[in-house]
Structure 1
Amino acid sequence: MDQTCKHLAWLEFVHARVERHIICNQRLQTLANHLPDKDSKYPSIALLLGHDTKNKVLRDLLPKGSLKKQQANATSLNLRPDTQSSKSPYPIYYADLDPTEHTCSLELGNKTGCHVQQHFQVSWVPESQQNLLDVVISRLLFLFTDVICLFADDLGGLETTRIFLTNWTLLAIGSHIGPPLRPRVLVVQRDSGNPMQTLERDLFLSDLTRDVDINRVFASVKVVTLPQKYQTSQRRRLSFILELANSLDSARGDRMAASMLFAATHQAALFRRALVNVTRTAATPFNFIQAARQGNEVRSDLVEHTENVLRVSQKLPTGVVVLMIASSAILDAYPKGMHGFDPKLLFRTLYKSLYRSALCRVSTSTPDDVSNEIQERFCALRAEMVNNGTSSADIHLSTLRSLQPSWSLLKSNQTCLVCLVQSPEHVLSCGHALCENCIKRFGCEVSLRSGLHSSYEIRECPVCGKRERFLVRLKPPTAGFRILSIDGGGLRGIVPLETLSLLQQLAQSDCPIQELFDLAYGTSIGGIIVLGLFVKKMTVEQLLYFFRSFAHTLFGARRSKDDSSLLPRALKSLLTSNSMYDTGLFEQTLISQFGPNRQLFDYEGPTASGTKVAVTAVKVSETSTPTRIFTNYNGSRRRQSESGYRFERPFRADQEPYVWQVARATSAAPIYFRAIKIPSLGIYRDGGVSHHNNPINIALWESRYIWPSVIRPDVVLSLGTGYEETSQSPLVKTPKISFPWSFSFSVKDTPLHCLISSFKGELDGQRTWREFMNHRPEHEKPDYFRLTLELPGPEPAIDDYDSIEVLSSAVRLQPSGPETRRGVLMALLISSLFFELQEMPSYGDGMYYCHGSVRCRSSGALKSLLKLHPLGNLELFKDGNSLGVFLSEQDICGTCRRYRKPVHFFVKDLDDEINLCVKWDIDQTRKISAMPRRVSWFVDRQGLDMPFGSATDPGVIYEECGGCAPSEQKLPTWTPGPLRTKRKRSYEVMDVEPHKKRSKR
């Protein structure tokens, strides 16, 4: 907000045509921001209702002359701070409104520009302006007001005041869910000198209590008399001020006893959410606890996770399980920043029914008793948390340590055994798996000298206490994601391997190609490639060597100089062992490469890449939904039951398939190799035989379950294994079907022709890609790349060993190959850049000032990008306008080796979309990660407007770097000036440090 703003209006009422609106000017938030140490200030609000007498009393309550300096609105609800109490733990605000004033504005729009305005349309139909005022007063203001002062002479006398109170009482009943919030009422009346005034006062109180149950809404109703000549009677004035102060103290005590005394930031946030509620419906009660969890709701799959925990812990004592569930609920219920709601009420509101459902599912004989026991433990842990002044994370870690002898015996691949509310994503060396939130919560960010962003280190397993150093790279919250998808195709897998090798040569050694992808999918040989690259962590060259050795062992050694003997041998193998090739040798080759006991969802070693990996397979026994995916991840959301494929995960962690088994399953091509039986799961064949030889569709579908907040990927790279470009010319030759033993025959116009053509269509990854791209909007298509090889003749058979070198050379000699690969690598490297806000955008002069940084996931990616453009002409643009700076290695911090370029700019609204791009070569542009996005998306992803904290952003311990910490940057101090009507302004500002001359290479 502009520091020069003198407006006092808190709420304004607008009647535009047939619609009614309420404008909120964020006065509560503004006053909270001006308080020193606002998170430990607990304001009280006194609501003064009237006009002339009210204004006279306000002059006494506020510093002398302050009413003249500030701009109040007679038709609005105004809010003023008591500046004398601002340094007190309990500052006082005075709100004032004339409930008899029915005049309202007829126009919408922010006419000031010096403070934030939010417009809320009233969805229900008020009977009149008075009815709208009555609802706002009784169902909104009463929830946050401690004392209500009604100036009877301003309102028309005691009888009119009684009518107001009666109507408000009837409307306020049931206005919220939770402990009673009953403000105190002071009815202020001038002393008329008439002896009958006392009798009138008694009749007023008697009639008031007779008409309605006034005690359900108000803690007390008291009539206070002012002298007739109010301004000349200092003693009586002080008497009223003292009465008001005492009433505020009593109301504060009531709120404190009910655990409903809110800090300034919480009060402002809850008021905004209550205003939204009252404009949507005049009848729905406001739930403070649910409102505080807005944007941080209890997970919808809590019942399923609790059920998993109950099943894996059936052999443990009930008391251990109850304590662990209660402790996990504390961790979820009271993140850093959460208001201290009454634990019993909070537990009943958020958790009790969910836990009871889970208990009923596992046939617990006494679900009510157990859920009550969990509630008791929950309340006890909350009391311990308050008494010791510790965080919920500390309480939960203490619980975990106390239960280690028994809890450490458990392992789960479906539920994180630390928080019990999310699926695990990373397995430690001890075998316990943690979700990514717990990685952040109980780990620390590693930055020093690493050059990596969003890397976290676990130094001790929270479940068993085992000491270790486990490093995980996570996707930054404001970054998008990149997908790699590799087709199946047997020995034609040399095509994507050579393509990756050429991309790696372009990127050079600074940036391993694996660092440029967040999700990698493969089918058949494509599955083996992604397992080798991202699970085994082989380099591309190592994988190429393995591929050639693998091909020679399985296929090359079978060939003899006399090919005429191949057909009988192949037929014999097919008839005697149900496969043309030695399945046992195939398995031994895979075991020697991936290890006999390494599971796919398993410990990756001291460093985990963070890349999500999956391969496709077909379950032989299934007919309706045969396609399966094996993954090294779980995802953050439940998958739809009719998604067209199934996520394969055994219930027990020790039944997870081995990597070699998964590699066998995805490449068990019919005829060539036998299907594989994986214990506890089933029998599987090659994933390419069920429409997904090119797994790009499943990869995109799965991304929505992994990163639901990111709608579309930054870059998709699909690698094919070569295809035959068919012609529509009538001169085309009759198709020949080439078998692996080099025997061929014409099948034109035969049923076999139709069958084989149909089967080949199912395996046609190029056709899948074309159909996939037909469903992409035009503006998204530049983000999707397909690298494959157009073959001059029929596709080689998937076991054609002799074709390997020919295909390898063809990939390297493609005329358009170098330029195409360069474009793909540019897109991938630029998608490593992402933007994040440094702080909550501030408002003034009609604009939001946004201060943030362009960062890079790894300094290696930036170095590779700059080597592709040695002239240093990579310039940053925002919404088509130059920011005046260029990407440079000089912005890599010398201490932590991470890249950070400060940025600041202006937007008119937080919902405005921004698009940060890199431009080069005059007309070449490429957006950085996650762009374009609304500014509000960054606010949400970074939790900058989460006054109650979030379980998904649990307060990471950062190892701050003094070299590039925000506090060390010499940023300009921005203070919004008064609003000007004629002014030219640049909304894009960059290069906040002294300009660094770019080096010419």
Structure 2
Amino acid sequence: MVHITAFFDLALQNFALSPLSTFSFIHASREDFKVSPNFARHLSSFMSVFADNKLPDHIAWEFIASVIILDAFPPDMHMFNPSEVFRILYREACALGIQEYLDSRQLSTDLARLVPPTCRIRLFATDGGGAKGVVTIGFIQKLQEALDPKRPVQENADLSIGTSTGGVINLGLFGKNWTPDQCLAFFRKFAKIIFASKAKARFSIWSWISLCSWVSWIMRISGGRYDADILEKFLQEAYGTTPMFHTARPSGMKYAVTATTLSDATLCLISNYHTEGKPTSNLGYKHLPPTSDKGEILIWEAARCTTAAPTIFKPKRLRSFGTFQDGGLRNNNPVRPGLHLVSRIWDDGDCDIVLSIGNGFEQKPLSPVASNFRNLFLDGALARLYRASMESLSLNGQNSWDDHWHGLDEETKTNHFRLNLPLQGKEPGIDDIDSMDSLYQKTMCHQGDMMEIVRAFKGVTFFFELDRTLVDDGPFYICYGSILSRSPDSPRFIQLLTSDYPYAQFFNHGTSLGYISKNDICKLCGRYTKLVAFRVRHSSDQADIYLRFNRLSHRRISAFPKPIDWFIKRQKLNAKFGQPNHKSTIEPRQSDCSCQLQRKRDIPISLAGNLKRRLVTRTRTRRKKIRGNGD
């Protein structure tokens, strides 16, 4: 009856909107989760992998058929004729995918949406700054030490973006999966070799006297002060020949570096992922995917493009893609391009945490005293133009952050953080390798907001899912749901959290939902699942679940505050014909954990106590009925 009622409602809606149009039962049943628009490309990629590994063709066809059946008939789906479902939904896409495979025989990848639907994004953004990059690495080391010294700090990010030096660090951490210590060792060697290379354009004051020397200097400086060949050789040795695409992390971690075109300084983002759907031209930047019909971008090539600062290194030409230079010309602090990427990849574009990491900035007096003496060289037009350009929002990462920060509302500001090192005196130059040790030591002694940032990351590691649709309870509705953890190692995460905060507990609008306990960890799969329930007057009411560490500090868990309708929509709980995650909305949840190992047991471990209580309750109820009949 559920399907008949749903079909009747959908048919009425279709008739009301377009009386003469034909109503398709199959299309109507997939209204909540349509077939991926990139199904053909997925199929072509899969067939290419099979061909490259010389696997038998019949295995590929059987696997493809089983995948289509699995996608077409999730739990609760109406039992249509499979042949009709294939003809209407998949046949054309299969034909296009096979044709694409036969035409190109090139590997094509697509976006893997592994972020849970009710989670929001954790964004890392690292500034450019030359030799000052040791400050960035120092902050990352301190962050990992505070979060969990034994787990990669990269696990706490869904998207990372870097510019210039920050891009090089980004590619090491997320592209090569280096530890922060490995990244520091690499960067020290990188800076000393690159910036100690013989400069191409050293000149004296007497060069300005001769017009010929001036022209000669211009010609030399246009190629860069430092040897780009040494830079490329070092990057190739460090990163190898690994392509950007083949470095996709198992967790679905996505990363990108910025560059600009040589012709018009258009911002370009070189990434390790493809985006779904067709690219649009009004983004304000160009997206260079890791693979395309033009070729494949290697990690070292991406590092070379993002570090090609004008007057420092000559631009880098990528075959078939064009010529690129340092991304810092447009966004030395890449937090804004990172937010654009979030909105492009994930449909609602919200972030749980935005962490911007700088590499030192010069502290200036709030009320500078103007000098009465005007120096021709220091205050002339060229000098003023140079200072203005260097202090512009694009080149000065701290100014860019301040501008971004002041544009946020007060609620959003609580999720945006900046780690940077205030410097006394003049800021070191990008090639000042002698200042690296001093900058690193100052970073290790600088505290900043590290503890609040750590609590924020721990808070958004938890997320909430509804276990079923709302239950009517008189003037209220009961929300039955689960608080889950997206940590790859939940037992260790919970152990560290309860060790630091033994009385940590969850709240919703000031009402306790229970303490964090190791008992909520599944003994079979290790996942954390805490069953909770609370009341709302309407599905449009806003829930606000947060983790209270102690009496003085608390942080919201992922995505909150949000109305309950948002969770229903994200989880597609109102879908009458199944869900893309193959969970059933009709069958009640049988255990605290939904792992496959739990389902295979006759009596789930997590429900043993509940089952005993149910049996006792049923026995008491039965005795009451018997006594009632006896009376």
TM over 0.5: yes
User: Within 1, Cα distance between the matches of 2:559 and 2:305?
Assistant: 35
Instruction: Calculate the TM-score normalised by the size of structure 1.
Output: 0.52
User: Within 2, Cα distance between the matches of 1:615 and 1:340?
Assistant: 47
**Structure with greater proportional helix content:** 2
Give yes or no for the alignment of 1:524 onto 2:164: yes
**8 Å CA contact 2:38, 2:276 repeated in 1:** no
Which residue identity lines up with residue 261 of structure 2 in the other structure?
K
- State the secondary structure of the residue aligned to 1:677: strand
The match for 2:626 is none
Give yes or no for the alignment of 1:731 onto 2:369: yes
Q: Pick the aligned partner of 1:830 from 428, 440, 459.
A: 459
User: Within 1, Cα distance between the matches of 2:574 and 2:606?
Assistant: 19
How big is each residue's C-alpha offset from its partner over 1:12-70, in whole Å with a ceiling of 9 and x where there is no partner? xxxxxxxxxxxxxxxxxxxxxxxxxxxxxxxxxxxxxxxxxxxxxxxxxxxxxxxxxxx
Which residue identity lines up with residue 296 of structure 2 in the other structure?
E
1:199-598 matched pairs, under 5 angstroms: 264-274=1-11, 276-277=13-14, 286-300=23-37, 333-335=72-74, 337-341=76-80, 410-414=105-109, 423=110, 425=111, 435=112, 474-556=114-196, 575=220, 578-595=223-240, 597-598=241-242
The match for 2:485 is 856
Give the number of equivalent residue pairs: 580
User: Within 1, Cα distance between the matches of 2:186 and 2:206?
Assistant: 28
User: Within 2, Cα distance between the matches of 1:554 and 1:853?
Assistant: 52
Give yes or no for the alignment of 1:843 onto 2:478: no
How big is each residue's C-alpha offset from its partner over 1:629-671, in whole Å with a ceiling of 9 and x where there is no partner? 1111113344431101111136647921111111111111111
Q: Structure 1 residue 537: deviation in Å?
A: 0.9
1:96-175 matched pairs, under 5 angstroms: none
**8 Å CA contact 2:362, 2:425 repeated in 1:** yes
Going from structure 1 to structure 2, the CA distance change for 1:479 and 1:728 (only over 3 Å counts) comes to closer
**8 Å CA contact 2:48, 2:105 repeated in 1:** no
Which residue identity lines up with residue 351 of structure 2 in the other structure?
P
- State the secondary structure of the residue aligned to 2:527: coil
Identity over aligned residues, as a percent? 31
How big is each residue's C-alpha offset from its partner over 1:361-407, in whole Å with a ceiling of 9 and x where there is no partner? 99xxxxxxxxxxxxxxxxxxxxxxxxxxxxxxxxxxxxxxxxxxx98
User: Within 1, Cα distance between the matches of 2:485 and 2:20?
Assistant: 50
**8 Å CA contact 2:258, 2:269 repeated in 1:** yes
Q: Structure 1 residue 294: deviation in Å?
A: 1.6
Higher relative CO (CA 8 A, sep ≥ 6), structure 1 or 2?
2
Q: Pick the aligned partner of 2:359 from 717, 721, 725.
A: 721
**8 Å CA contact 1:715, 1:784 repeated in 2:** yes
- State the secondary structure of the residue aligned to 2:186: helix
How big is each residue's C-alpha offset from its partner over 1:735-774, in whole Å with a ceiling of 9 and x where there is no partner? 99xxxxxxx9943131452145225412112222222223
**8 Å CA contact 1:650, 1:681 repeated in 2:** no
Give yes or no for the alignment of 1:771 onto 2:403: yes
How big is each residue's C-alpha offset from its partner over 1:860-879, in whole Å with a ceiling of 9 and x where there is no partner? 3333433443xx12121012
1:17-28 matched pairs, under 5 angstroms: none
How big is each residue's C-alpha offset from its partner over 1:561-612, in whole Å with a ceiling of 9 and x where there is no partner? xx999999xx9798288121121221222122211x10011155xx724211
**8 Å CA contact 2:127, 2:359 repeated in 1:** yes
1:663-682 matched pairs, under 5 angstroms: 663-682=303-322
**8 Å CA contact 2:405, 2:413 repeated in 1:** yes
Q: Pick the aligned partner of 1:876 from 506, 513, 523.
A: 506
**8 Å CA contact 1:735, 1:748 repeated in 2:** no
Going from structure 1 to structure 2, the CA distance change for 1:538 and 1:301 (only over 3 Å counts) comes to closer
How big is each residue's C-alpha offset from its partner over 1:938-994, in whole Å with a ceiling of 9 and x where there is no partner? 334344443323456599994447698765563887xxxxxxxxxxxxxxxxxxxxx
Which residue identity lines up with residue 788 of structure 1 in the other structure?
N
Q: Pick the aligned partner of 2:336 from 674, 697, 706.
A: 697
User: Within 2, Cα distance between the matches of 1:354 and 1:608?
Assistant: 27
Going from structure 1 to structure 2, the CA distance change for 1:688 and 1:564 (only over 3 Å counts) comes to closer
Going from structure 1 to structure 2, the CA distance change for 1:303 and 1:854 (only over 3 Å counts) comes to closer
**8 Å CA contact 2:261, 2:324 repeated in 1:** yes
**8 Å CA contact 1:619, 1:628 repeated in 2:** yes
User: Within 2, Cα distance between the matches of 1:856 and 1:803?
Assistant: 42
Going from structure 1 to structure 2, the CA distance change for 1:676 and 1:876 (only over 3 Å counts) comes to same
- State the secondary structure of the residue aligned to 1:635: coil
Which residue identity lines up with residue 661 of structure 1 in the other structure?
E
User: Within 1, Cα distance between the matches of 2:326 and 2:174?
Assistant: 20
| Higher deviation after alignment, 828-837 or 891-900 | 891-900
Which residue identity lines up with residue 601 of structure 1 in the other structure?
F
Unaligned residue ranges in structure 1 (runs of 5+): 1-263, 314-318, 363-405, 415-422, 426-434, 437-473, 737-743, 974-1001
User: Within 2, Cα distance between the matches of 1:331 and 1:566?
Assistant: 74
Going from structure 1 to structure 2, the CA distance change for 1:603 and 1:541 (only over 3 Å counts) comes to closer
**8 Å CA contact 1:338, 1:948 repeated in 2:** yes
User: Within 2, Cα distance between the matches of 1:915 and 1:566?
Assistant: 65
Q: Structure 1 residue 349: deviation in Å?
A: 5.8
- State the secondary structure of the residue aligned to 1:683: strand
The match for 1:805 is 437
- State the secondary structure of the residue aligned to 1:598: coil
**8 Å CA contact 2:525, 2:597 repeated in 1:** no
The match for 2:618 is none
The match for 2:245 is 601
Going from structure 1 to structure 2, the CA distance change for 1:603 and 1:575 (only over 3 Å counts) comes to closer
The match for 2:256 is 614
How big is each residue's C-alpha offset from its partner over 1:908-949, in whole Å with a ceiling of 9 and x where there is no partner? 333332121011332422110121233343334344443323
Give yes or no for the alignment of 1:905 onto 2:534: yes
1:637-648 matched pairs, under 5 angstroms: 637-648=277-288
- State the secondary structure of the residue aligned to 1:294: coil
Which residue identity lines up with residue 339 of structure 1 in the other structure?
H
Bigger Rg over Cα: 1
User: Within 1, Cα distance between the matches of 2:49 and 2:181?
Assistant: 43
How big is each residue's C-alpha offset from its partner over 1:292-329, in whole Å with a ceiling of 9 and x where there is no partner? 1121124456688899999999xxxxx99xx9999687
- State the secondary structure of the residue aligned to 2:458: helix
User: Within 2, Cα distance between the matches of 1:516 and 1:964?
Assistant: 31
- State the secondary structure of the residue aligned to 2:324: strand
Going from structure 1 to structure 2, the CA distance change for 1:278 and 1:931 (only over 3 Å counts) comes to farther
**8 Å CA contact 2:176, 2:247 repeated in 1:** no
Give yes or no for the alignment of 1:866 onto 2:461: no
Unaligned residue ranges in structure 2 (runs of 5+): 51-56, 208-215, 585-593, 615-631
- State the secondary structure of the residue aligned to 1:608: coil
Q: Calculate the aligned-residue CA RMSD, in Å.
A: 4.2
Q: Structure 1 residue 784: deviation in Å?
A: 0.5
**8 Å CA contact 1:637, 1:706 repeated in 2:** no
